[in-house]
Structure 1
Amino acid sequence: MSSKILNVGLIGFGLSGRYFHSPFLSTNPGFKIKTVVERSKNEAQEFDPNIENARSTDELLSDPEIDLVFICTPNDTHFPYAMDALENGKHVVIEKPFAATESEARQLADLAREKGLILTAYQNRRWDSDFLTVKKLIAEGKLGDIVEYESRYDRFREVVPTESWKEKKVPVGGNVYNLGPHLIDQALVLFGEPETVTAEIRTVRPNSEVDDYFDIRLGYKDKLVIVKSSLMVYENKLRYVLHGTKGSFIKGGLDPQEETLRKNILPTEQPWGIEPEDRWGTLYSKDFTGIIESEAGDYAPFYQNVYDAIVNGAELDVKPEEVVRTARVIDLAFKSSEEKQVMTY
């Protein structure tokens, strides 16, 4: 076990920086949050008074002591900030979306490879309770060969909040870029690259400026994979529906980690990531029909893997080439929806 401590810089301290990254970084002995970029506020010091402030990204990136940078800023800044960080010799973790396009994603991956730096995306939903449960059921063969997979991530936001940039018509905005990377990444982890991409992307809420509904279908020779999201679903219990040659699995609810972190509870609190029983899914099959207890979710392995990749040369769990393929699907989804055509992957 290496005793090396990585100095971390966070660019941005909103929901992502404050409630996702800081709790896990601060409780992992391999990391020290050294500096946070906040233009005018000092909210990082409310979390930990030992954290330093930087008033610009240039100030942070010019610090030779910073080893690793987390980019937690509005979507359209991810690509330029990541390029700057890599050019300054920093390892980089980028919030989703990793980049606006497949081309940008490839440029980042190529630059990181050229400089010998670790680059990854924060695909934390691979460590959600529900996804770990689905992954285990498939691996154990409980469903047989999957013929249809549907994953949804719905919310109900009837009143469009005017103060959030996420609800503005801005570059790299909208629900496809916000929730799409999670659902697409999970599907690609399970089934690999598809043959086709077909999508319907819409604005369904009155007065909405952004796409707030998507239905993206990934075509495979032996299965159909559907990922959907709407911000106009009042009863959003449906999360996963899987049908296979041996049975079906239906599950609702969301992983509890985000709601726990928002209560200022650190991930060292035990038990961690345990789903309430009313969120557990049901398996229907000839061999067994009944409730399946969910696996415990835990985002901590993502951070440990980043540490091990930087310090010990371990293989990344979320590889740049995997992030590139997610960006490709998003590109094709927008094109499919616009042209009303099935796109070849």
Structure 2
Amino acid sequence: MSRTIQVGLIGFGLSGRYFHAPFLTVNPYFKLAKVVERHRNDAQAFDPAIQTVRSHEDLLSDPAIDLVIVGSPNDTHYPYAKAALEADKHVLIEKPFANTSEQARELLDLATAKGLVAIPYQNRRYDADFLTIQQLLEQHKLGDVVEYEAHFDRYRPDVLNSWKELDPEGGGNLLNLGPHLIDQAVLLFGVPDAVFAEVRTVRPGGVLDDYFDIRLFYPNKRVILKSNMLAADNSLRYVIHGTKGSFVKHGLDIQEETQRKNILPNTPDWGQEPESQYGTLTTPEGKQTIPSRRGNYHHFYDNLYRAIVGESGPEVTAEQAYTTIRIMELALESSRTGRGLKFERGRPAV
């Protein structure tokens, strides 16, 4: 370890409290030094060594801060990240990376010009189920994939009094859960040829979208990405069909649930799913239970450290960050027009 990265965190809600602070606490490469909270002092209750400041300007003016994590509401991601980059700070941005592809492109261009890291927090790449799927594909257990279906469903019939469900500038289920499913698909299969989607509101009294069905078209496969906030039976996660077999997986990765129990992520069995959540591989030879790989959000932070100190590039590339946002834009336009839309290929200007 050549140095410790001094971290400033904007926001200490669900993201800051349960996804970032615990992992930063147990990782010797990072020190969570300051947290921006407008009115509360929850960060100091979590760790009295953390200093609370009341504005992002107070945080960005500190020359000791190396990395700024933007964990505030979605409509603030772009302005806060841009301000952090202009202050010569690396930035880790909660999903979505930005609300529009033009905002994403601008942030990526600025980071490149300044030699800084700007990366979205795509922790779901390191869920137990997705790591297991990657292993199966690497081992060619399914053959060539012809259809890939991923779900991130919930059952929340009541509309919450939250910006995530009410703010038209950054709320809605597509911006909330869409980046997870889209990023995973882009990581596995790259940029699609075209996008067709239905994005709508299904809950009585709903204000913003709470349902999406996105179809990504590739030359030899179809990718289906779905989320429904009225799914009482919401255990299904993946159904993948290939030329050699099929894989079906139920149950959500346990890392978030464990973190909400105030358990620090340094336990020996961290991220190990129960056997009841193992997936099933079906081939002409029969059915086989596939033990899940251990979920591991630690890997994201370790890669982020190496990217900041120049030992390796970020695993979430600029092209992937941009592509994820652009697919969400095309999904909204497709839903509005009822047409499939071509994805214009080309790397972001970074």
TM-score grouping bracket, smaller chain normalisation: over 0.9
Aligned to 1:72: 71
Structure 2 CA distance, aligned partners of 1:287 and 1:73? 50
Structure 1 CA distance, aligned partners of 2:246 and 2:26? 39
Deviation at 1:118, TM superposition (A): 0.8
Aligned to 2:170: 172
8 Å CA contact 1:121, 1:320 repeated in 2: no
Structure 2 CA distance, aligned partners of 1:260 and 1:228? 25
Aligned to 2:232: 234
Deviation at 1:319, TM superposition (A): 1.5
Aligned to 1:326: 324
5 Å-filtered alignment, 1:114-153, equals 114-153=113-152
Structure 2 CA distance, aligned partners of 1:68 and 1:169? 28
Deviation at 1:288, TM superposition (A): 4.8
Of 237, 251, 260 in structure 2, the residue corresponding to residue 253 of structure 1 is: 251
Aligned to 1:211: 209
Structure 2 CA distance, aligned partners of 1:288 and 1:319? 38
Aligned to 2:156: 157
Structure 2 CA distance, aligned partners of 1:321 and 1:196? 17
Aligned to 2:112: 113
8 Å CA contact 1:277, 1:293 repeated in 2: yes
Structure 1 CA distance, aligned partners of 2:170 and 2:16? 19
Q: SS where residue 309 of structure 2 aligns?
A: helix
Aligned to 1:340: 338
Relative to 1, partners in 2 of residues 1:169 and 1:13: Cα closer, same or farther, differing over 3 Å?
closer
Taking structure 2 as the reference length, the TM-score comes to 0.97
Structure 1 CA distance, aligned partners of 2:187 and 2:180? 11
Aligned to 2:37: 38
Aligned to 1:293: 291
CA RMSD of aligned residues (A): 0.8
Structure 1 CA distance, aligned partners of 2:65 and 2:153? 37
5 Å-filtered alignment, 1:18-97, equals 18-97=17-96
Structure 2 CA distance, aligned partners of 1:161 and 1:75? 16
Runs (4 or more) in structure 1 with deviation over 6 Å come to none
Deviation at 1:310, TM superposition (A): 1.0
Matched residue type, 1:73: S
Of 174, 186, 189 in structure 1, the residue corresponding to residue 187 of structure 2 is: 189
Structure 1 CA distance, aligned partners of 2:312 and 2:141? 31
Matched residue type, 1:330: M
Of 279, 282, 304 in structure 1, the residue corresponding to residue 280 of structure 2 is: 282
Structure 2 CA distance, aligned partners of 1:264 and 1:59? 29
8 Å CA contact 1:272, 1:297 repeated in 2: yes
How far does the alpha carbon of each residue in 1:192-228 deviate from its partner, in whole angstroms, 9 at most, with x for none? 1110000000100000111000000000110000000
Percent identical: 56
Structure 2 CA distance, aligned partners of 1:86 and 1:321? 19
Matched residue type, 1:92: V
Deviation at 1:343, TM superposition (A): 0.2
8 Å CA contact 1:34, 1:52 repeated in 2: yes
Q: Where does the alignment leave 5 or more consecutive residues of structure 2 unmatched?
A: 344-350
Matched residue type, 2:21: S
Deviation at 1:287, TM superposition (A): 3.9
Deviation at 1:304, TM superposition (A): 0.8
Q: SS where residue 179 of structure 1 aligns?
A: helix
> How many pairs align?
343
**Is 317-326 or 258-267 further displaced after alignment?**
317-326
Aligned to 1:102: 101
Q: SS where residue 97 of structure 1 aligns?
A: coil
8 Å CA contact 2:164, 2:170 repeated in 1: no
8 Å CA contact 1:109, 1:321 repeated in 2: no
How far does the alpha carbon of each residue in 1:300-331 deviate from its partner, in whole angstroms, 9 at most, with x for none? 01001111111133111111221000011011
Aligned to 2:306: 308
Q: SS where residue 198 of structure 1 aligns?
A: strand
